[in-house]
Copies of this chain bind each other. A is one copy, B any other.
Amino acid sequence: MGKEPLTGDQYHHGNLRAALLDSALVVLTEKGVAGFSMREAARRVGVSQSAPKHHFGDARGLLGALATRAYRQLCDRLESLELAGLDARGRVTRIAAEYVAFAGENRALFDLMWRMTQFDFTAPELAEQKHRALRALDRSLRGEDAEPAASDTDPALLPSYAVWSLVHGYTTLALEGAIDSSNPDPLNSDLLPAMLALLDVSGPPRTSLP
């Protein structure tokens, strides 16, 4: 009975699930998505190579749980933004900056988030978090008091889709060095606000012109 530090954590070997998630995040950050190894994540918490199986099934399960947690963190940040006193354009700029900041602070995680279908990972909670991200963005754009969209195909969502697409596209292109590559920190450039200024975020064509 190897009684390692029994501090607080009840060890059978503790709450392995959380420990493995943290360890996996470190490995992912260090090695990137391509260099990630489930064995190494297990090794770092001092546990056998097949310990993760009971908690996550397989490697995709682990990465999926990690991505789901990342989505939740991103949504939390977007939802907790302080936007009072800002007009629509100011809100959009603010939320775009937060989106880009998250991507910059969690590059490997951000990479992983948009690669889950490639890993054949389709958890309902993941799709739910994606919807949550859109809703958070839409609520910030149209204001707290605006009535939420009826469905995902509500034309009122169009500006939010456009903002998301533009911000997400710029983020991935900049991280890949395709845009603003001369800038040492393209994620902090003023290119994004300038691009957003070209976008009409006033609202959908609801029987009145822009």
Complex contacts, A111 vs chain B, CB 8 Å: 118
Residue in contact with A152 in the complex, picked from B118, B167, B182, B195, CB distance below 8 Å: B182
* Nearest-CB residue, chain B, relative to A133: B178
Give the complex CA separation of A32 and B115 in angstroms.
Answer: 11
Indicate if A61 sits at the interface (CB-CB under 8 A).
no
If over half of A's interface residues share one DSSP class (helix, strand or loop), that class is named, otherwise mixed; here it is: helix
Q: Is A200 an interface residue (CB 8 A)?
A: yes
Query: Whole-angstrom distance from the CB of A12 to the nearest CB of chain B?
Result: 32
B34 touches A119 (CB 8 A): yes
Contact B177 A118 (CB under 8 A): no
Tell me, yes or no, whether A15 is within 8 Å of chain B by CB. Answer: no
Q: Is A7 an interface residue (CB 8 A)?
A: no
A176 contacts the other chain (CB 8 A): yes
* Residue among A32, A130, A166, A173 facing the most chain B CB atoms (10 A cut-off): A166
Q: Mark A28-48, 1 if CB is under 8 A from B, else 0.
A: 000011100000000000000
Chain B residue nearest to A159 in the complex (CB): B198
B-chain residues with CB within 8 Å of residue A127 when the two chains form the complex: 177, 181
In the complex, A14 has a CB within 8 A of chain B: no
When chains A and B are docked, how far (Å) is the Cα of A155 from the Cα of B159? 24
Judge whether B166 and A32 touch: CB under 8 Å: no
In the complex, which residues 118-150 of chain A have their Cβ closer than 8 Å to any Cβ of chain B?
A: 118-119, 127, 130, 133-134
Q: Are B166 and A114 in contact (CB under 8 A)?
A: no
Contact across chains for A199 and B118 when beta carbons are under 8 A apart = no
* Beta-carbon contacts under 8 Å, A148-196 to B: 152-153, 158-159, 161-162, 164-173, 175-182, 191, 194-195
Answer yes or no: A116 CB below 8 A from chain B CBs.
yes
5 closest A-B pairs by beta carbon, nearest first, are A169-B169, A165-B169, A168-B169, A165-B170, A162-B195
Q: Which residues of A contact B (CB under 8 A)?
A: 32-34, 111, 114-119, 127, 130, 133-134, 152-153, 158-159, 161-162, 164-173, 175-182, 191, 194-195, 198-201
